Amino acid sequence: MESIVGTLEEAVESLVVNKHHEIRYWIGLFLAVMTGIRKGEVLALRWSDIDFEGATEQIQQNQLTHEHSMMLSTDL
């Protein structure tokens, strides 16, 4: 899997450029940029994992991709 690492300015620019795209993808990008969680963790995240009042998220799963299938892993 290719890892893309850029500057903070590039990350913010990506958020600004993509703000008009489908909101669920923007939210995933925002979480990855702002919290540093990995792609598989973003993909496995559920609304119930987010505590909006406490401003925290709890990573409980990771979505792994093998060939053309996907599976959820709780081994974090």
Whether residue 69 is predicted with pLDDT greater than 50 in this model: the reply is no
Structure confidence at residue 68 (pLDDT): 47
All structural domains of the chain with their residue ranges: 8-73
Residues 33 and 11: beta-carbon distance below 8 Å: yes
Residues 61 and 44: beta-carbon distance below 8 Å: yes
Distance CA 53, CA 68 (A): 38
Q: Please, which pLDDT band fits residue 1 given cuts at 50, 70 and 90?
A: very low
In the block, which residue shows the tokens 């893309």? 4
The 10s digit of each residue's pLDDT in 2-49 is 445 578 788 888 888 878 877 877 888 888 888 888 888 888 888 888
Rounded (10°) CA dihedral 68, 14, 44, 2 = 40
Whether residue 75 is predicted with pLDDT greater than 60 in this model: the reply is no
